[in-house]
């Protein structure tokens, strides 16, 4: 299922010089969350705990133990880096007050496998990839909710038996990766602990929940691709396959440009297979 949100893809904003990260680099069909994501398994196992387990196996546990990564990621995602995204353009926008580094780091504690895609360079590439997509989807963290096609509710009736839509609720894009469709809200809610179907607006009201939905989807559908050695192009296909294969070359180019910017900022080579 793909939601049509092409009008969200705007031209890159004109930088104001305060927050831009300089670089010489490349310069639904819309940034939806594309696939039906899994919900908690029997025994309380959550998908993100199974996606990338690098720690030692503990007898009696359903999954391997992953040491906390908060300090390591925080050293990469500094306040300066985060502010550089937010302050890329002038003006007041909803996301500028909503998205904060502290909310991201708090959400991160629920996803210890994030930023652990292989060696240290691979981990930095994963962080760069995540924020490249977040930057693209939110227009440099300016927007919390989808800015067009607001009349659509994004109800997938074929999945309504498993994830029933609540009367009067809309499952349009919200949050850093623009979570969309009833089945994704339902699965995300079950996994991270909020009423995704009954109160989808929570994603636009609570910044920690917003970042948790983005990290939840990332660990389910994107992180395993990087852990298996896939390049940035594979992450584009996982986030929005409709852009690939000539579907939206400008959108792909923008995602790649942001990724290259952040890789340079983190001092890591971007790797191969950048496009899709």
Give the global pTM: 0.77
Question: Band of the pLDDT at 109, cuts 50, 70, 90?
Answer: very high
Domain that residue 133 falls in? 22-45+68-144+211-266
Residue 74 included in any domain: yes
Active site residue 190: no
The CA distances from residue 67 to 55, 85, 263, in Å, are 7, 28, 24
Does the residue 250 lie in any domain?
A: yes
207 or 37: which leads in pLDDT: 207
The answer to whether position 177 is within a domain reads no
User: Which member of 80, 92, 126, 137 is catalytic?
Assistant: 137
Report if residue 169 sits inside a domain.
Answer: no
Determine what percent of the chain is predicted with pLDDT higher than 70: 73
Q: What is the CATH number of the domain that holds 88?
A: 1.10.530.10
What distance in Å separates the CA atoms of residue 52 and residue 65, rounded to the nearest whole number? 10
Number of domains in the chain: 1
29 domain residue, yes or no? yes
Residues 6+ positions from 205 with CB-CB distance below 8 Å:
none
Residue 156, domain member (yes or no) = no
**Structure-token pair, residue 90:** 């002038």
pLDDT digits (tens, 9 = 90+) for 82-100: 999 999 988 889 999 999 9
Using the predicted structure, report yes or no on whether residue 61 has a pLDDT greater than 70: no
Q: Give the list of residues 6+ apart from residue 226 with CB closer than 8 angstroms, or none.
A: 117, 118, 122, 125, 126, 129, 234, 235
Please give the pLDDT value at position 69. Answer: 58
Is the residue at 201 inside a domain?
no
């Amino acid at each position: 299922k793909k939601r049509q949100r092409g009008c969200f893809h705007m031209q890159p904003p004109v930088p104001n010089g305060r927050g831009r990260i300089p670089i010489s680099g490349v310069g639904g069909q819309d940034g939806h969350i594309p696939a039906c994501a899994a919900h908690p398994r029997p025994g309380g196992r959550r998908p993100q705990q199974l996606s990338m387990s690098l720690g030692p196996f503990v007898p009696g546990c359903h999954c391997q133990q992953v040491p906390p990564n908060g300090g390591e990621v925080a050293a990469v995602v500094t306040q300066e880096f985060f502010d550089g995204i937010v302050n890329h353009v002038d003006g007041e926008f909803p996301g500028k007050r909503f998205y904060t580094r502290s909310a991201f780091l708090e959400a991160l504690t629920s996803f210890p496998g994030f930023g652990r895609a292989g060696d240290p360079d691979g981990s930095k590439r994963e962080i760069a990839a995540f924020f490249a997509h977040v930057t693209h989807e939110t227009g440099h963290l300016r927007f919390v909710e989808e800015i067009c096609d607001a009349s659509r509710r994004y109800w997938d009736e074929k999945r309504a038996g498993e994830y029933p839509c609540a009367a009067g609720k809309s499952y349009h894009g919200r949050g850093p990766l623009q979570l969309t469709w009833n089945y994704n809200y339902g699965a995300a809610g079950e996994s991270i602990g909020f009423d995704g179907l009954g109160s989808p607006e929570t994603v636009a009201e609570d910044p920690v929940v917003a970042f948790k939905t983005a990290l939840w989807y990332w660990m389910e559908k994107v992180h395993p691709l990087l852990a298996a050695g896939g390049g940035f192009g594979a992450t584009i296909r996982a986030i929005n396959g409709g852009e690939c294969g000539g579907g939206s070359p400008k959108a792909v180019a923008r995602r790649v440009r942001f990724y290259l910017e952040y890789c340079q900022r983190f001092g890591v080579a971007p790797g191969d297979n950048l496009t899709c």
